[in-house]
Amino acid sequence: MSKHRRKLTSEDILNLEVFSDPQFTPDGQAFTYVSTTINDKKDYQSQLFYQSLNDNNAIPWTFDNDKNTHLRFSPDGKRAVFQSTRSGLPQLWLINTDGGEAQQLTTFKHGATNPTWTKDGQFILFSALLENDDDIHNQQEMTKEEKQKIKSAKQEHPLVVNRLKYKSDAKGFHDNKKTQIIRMNIQDGSVTQLTQADTDYAFQDISPDGKTVLIAANLNDEADQELSNDLYLLDIATQKMNKLTTKNGSYQQASFSPDGSKIACFGHDFAYKGATLTELYIFDCQSLEQTCLSTNWNFQLGDAMIGDTRLGTSETGPTWNQDGSTIFFIATREGATELHQIELTANHQVLYSDDNHVFGFTYDVVNDQLILGISTPTDPCNFYLLNEDLSLSQLTNGNKTVKDQIAFEKPETLWIKTEDNVEIQGWLIRPYHFTEGKKYPMILEIHGGPHAMYGQTFFFELQLLAAQGYVVLYTNPRGSHGYDQHFVDACRMDYGGGDYHDVMQAVNHAVQMYSFIDKDRLGVTGGSYGGFMTNWIVGHTNCFKAAVTQRSISNWLSFYGVSDIGYFFTEWEHGLNLLDDPSKLWEISPLKYAADVETPLLILHGENDYRCPIEQGEQLFITLKHLKKEVEFVRFPEANHELSRSGKPNMRIERLNHICRWFEKYV
């Protein structure tokens, strides 16, 4: 750490630039990407940038305060389509790559998203929210006044609910709109609706000949009771839909091989419910035969890294190479994500691994090269060209001013062996301006999921606590991704058991290993599952001076019925539903142990959190307050479960300030 750099503050989150979605140009000589920043504390803005591989000058292609994302080049590279909110909702826009103003392509009432070109450049396929009786040939985006009128009209009538899946944290209360796949003729602007049924369709890919659309959906009669989804091949000419998958499972990120003869996808069969490791499948488009390429692997495919500054989406695979012999993908292992490749002959190779976070990549089919998006604990994001010798050449210099001015601390990796011989990985960050011989308080951070992973990525909250003078400890207890199937499954049916002992033994290990940690000044915090564990900890030990529980679970009995996932998550994680054995759910509910809580507890919760609804925080607060415990409740207006990651910027800052305030007061 450079001594001349100042310490981080909560307001510095306003100055971060977050990169995502790298895309090679069709000739492979340049690439584009999305840069997301915060606009005046109120909202986010995303701009499109173009950069040649021959220089480091990124050229902005958009300049407004809107969200411009998902740029995709036409096959000849002369045009590009992207989605933008400049008209109000996300709509599709077309731009000539040699310059000029963008032309609006769609004015759909509820927006249009995720455009993809056919290989001949004649059509664009995209997704749009539609009601059953919507006419796609007569679509106009609503004005602000029209939207307000509809909103007011809804408030005059009760909401009639007749489905199990009637709400979600991302969307709020569901309505009759469904995501459909639309095809647009780029020459005359005419549109054709390719899907019709009363369900949501997730576009996956279009075949190289442009005749078949690859779609993910659940078309079963019991779809409202299921979490599975299948892959379908839709023949555009005949409208015939052929089911590709045969097993009950979840399949996604599917793509055609360059010759259209095969399909690669991620998926799994729920063998371990939500703890099931993802597999890599190949389907033969003629015989529909399914092959699993990852049978002997024991790690998670895709990106399972948790952070609080990852805005925007990026490709994680599976992605075919130019001749269809090899597939590229990201893998999650031991606190890092890596770039792998697998040949159809099953020859598997790690192309890039350097103990950091590969959050996305793009592949150039012309020159057979790759650009990686990488984040480290001290660098939010940058893009790199992967050279033939598998070394990296840095292409961008994102957040240079921030990194020049502010000190970010590099974590130390720990491995802790528990009493039952389970190895737990963790990290420790030393405080800003660390001085040998001085004692420091320590904060334990616990991630959500529980099937997710802490690791070597940029994490603003962790860096902020280190800047405030705390040692920061964070771990991957049993149940975390990045390890083998047994480990990821190990916390199910045992919440508050082995996982609790893992984090507590990690604390004891750190205190014994590092003499600069003041064992009498410890704090703990976590969100979602980490909030549950924080609640559990303060009900079972008094070793922490203060705790901050975020978007937490306190009562599994009520969680079953109020959470958007409660009705299945309870069975997945605990092995029973509410009526099977309510006493067992009460035994593992932190609320039961409220009378034993002596640790000052700050409860942070979003008002619109449907994943871990605010009544979970409210029950805990009222119970502790009634017991005259030291507790405080902070409710964030209009915030859902994603408050810490993509919530309103001013609310994210407020949240960070409350965390720092509580620990400063009590630790």
Q: Cite the active site residues.
A: 528, 641
3-state class (DSSP) for residue 476 = strand
Residue 2 has pLDDT above 90, yes or no: no
Residue 626: predicted pLDDT: 98
Q: What is the pLDDT of residues 263-304, one digit of tens each?
A: 999 999 999 999 999 999 999 999 999 999 999 999 999 999
Cα gap 329→331, rounded to integer Å: 7
Mean pLDDT of 472-493: 98
Residue 239 has pLDDT above 80, yes or no: yes
Quick one: tokens of 618? 């409210």
Residue identified by tokens 């023949």 is 235
Residue 640 lies in a domain: yes
Structural domains of the chain, count? 1
Q: Smallest Cα–Cα separation from 609: which of 645, 579, 661, 575? A: 645
Residue 3 has pLDDT above 70, yes or no: no
Reported as a pLDDT band with limits 50, 70 and 90, residue 1 is: very low
Mean pLDDT of 625-637: 98
Query: Do 132 and 139 contact (CB within 8 A), yes or no?
Result: no
Mean pLDDT of 439-451: 98
Least confident range of 141-150, 194-203, 277-286, 526-535: 141-150
Residue 39 lies in a domain: no
Residue 523 lies in a domain: yes
Residue 623 lies in a domain: yes
Residue 339 lies in a domain: no
Q: What is the pLDDT of residues 373-420, one digit of tens each?
A: 999 999 999 999 999 999 999 999 999 999 999 999 999 999 999 999
Residue 61 has pLDDT above 50, yes or no: yes
Residue 373 lies in a domain: no
Mean of per-residue pLDDT scores for the chain: 96
Number of other residues whose CB lies within 10 A of the CB of residue 105: 21
Reported as a pLDDT band with limits 50, 70 and 90, residue 355 is: very high
Residue 197: predicted pLDDT: 81
∠ Cα 567 570 575 (to 5°)? 125
Residue 123 lies in a domain: no
The boundaries of the domain holding residue 503 are 407-666
Residue 657 lies in a domain: yes
Residue 283: predicted pLDDT: 97
Model's pTM, two decimal places? Answer: 0.97
Q: What is the pLDDT of residues 105-121, one digit of tens each?
A: 999 999 999 999 999 99
Q: What is the pLDDT of residues 308-348, one digit of tens each?
A: 999 999 999 999 999 999 999 999 999 999 999 999 998 99
Quick one: tokens of 639? 């915030």
Residue 155 has pLDDT above 90, yes or no: no
Residue 149: predicted pLDDT: 87
- Mode of pairing for the β-strands spanning 112-117 and 123-130: antiparallel
∠ Cα 574 577 582 (to 5°)? 90
Residue type, 26: P
The CATH number for 491's domain is 3.40.50.1820
Q: What is the pLDDT of residues 544-562, one digit of tens each?
A: 999 999 999 999 999 999 9
